[in-house]
Amino acid sequence: QVQLVESGGGLVQAGGSLRLSCVASGRTFSRNAMGWFRQAPGKEREFVAGISWSGSTAYTDPVKGRFTISRDNAKNTVYLQMNSLKPEDTAVYYCAARSTSGYATTPALYQYWGQGTQVTVSS
């Protein structure tokens, strides 16, 4: 079992920045691929960014160049640095972990989820 706890969400003006953190506990973290997803009201949960155990990363096109995913295996923590935020980035952001080393873009391929943290970007 892996437990995930997100933090760092909040209200920010367009153009601002936030850094989300996700602390993992319960089993070996370093071999898990991690992902960040988001879900806006009335929409499906969508992939935002993923990172493999080795540090390879992937991003959805709307956030490329603005968001950066990283991990600190010593702290069992994955981060999502979000810059140049836009109102369309408003959503609940979820951290997720896979039981394998490679990231995926499909939510169903992640076995463990955090409770989510709200990000609201005002125009």
CA dihedral 91, 94, 100, 103 (to 10 degrees): 20
By DSSP bridging, strand 117-122 and strand 91-97 are: antiparallel
Closest CA to 83 of 9, 33, 14: 14
In tens digits, the chain (123 residues) has pLDDT values of: 889 999 999 999 999 999 999 999 877 677 889 999 999 999 999 999 999 989 999 999 999 999 999 999 999 999 999 999 999 999 999 999 998 889 999 999 999 999 999 999 999
Q: What span, in angstroms and rounded, lies between the C-alpha atoms of 94 and 114?
A: 6
